Amino acid sequence: MKTVLFLCTGNYFRSRFAEGLFNALAERAGLDWRADSAGLMTDYNPGNIGPISPETVLELARRDIVLEQPLRHPRQVRAADLAGAARVIALNESEHRPMLADQFPAWADRAEYWHIPDLGWWPARHSLGAIEREVEALIQELSA
């Protein structure tokens, strides 16, 4: 099974939604792919309460996607995560390319980048809607 690794800053909101949505859609499509997610600065997000963003849980539930229990807490990306992934997608190039370049220089130009801002820049529904469109396009690409 191939892995796509979604990266965001805190592994709390965007990457967790992408992971949950991708896994549900890939399973429904019968793809031999699985998503994982991690953060590039998980210690930098003092406003994150609990293991995952309530907006992420709510929006996944609205799509009849149930997350595995118990919910895991955000985790920091490791070199092994990057090496084990067939595809690495960071959710906001302007935010995440510098972080990758600092922490894992060899991956800054190898990762794929989307352009989805975090909370504070866009409302949750806009960010999650943009992620949904990108994940659906990725599922279509992998199904071809």
pLDDT digits (tens, 9 = 90+) for 98-142: 999 999 999 999 999 999 988 766 667 889 999 999 999 999 999
Q: What is the pTM of this model?
A: 0.94
Gap between the Cα atoms of 43 and 36, Å rounded: 19
Determine whether 35 is exposed, middle or buried from the number of CB atoms within 10 Å of its CB (0-12, 13-18, 19+).
buried
pLDDT at position 118, please?
Answer: 82
Determine whether 71 is exposed, middle or buried from the number of CB atoms within 10 Å of its CB (0-12, 13-18, 19+).
exposed
**Domain residue extents for the chain:** 21-77+112-144
pLDDT digits (tens, 9 = 90+) for 70-82: 999 999 999 999 9
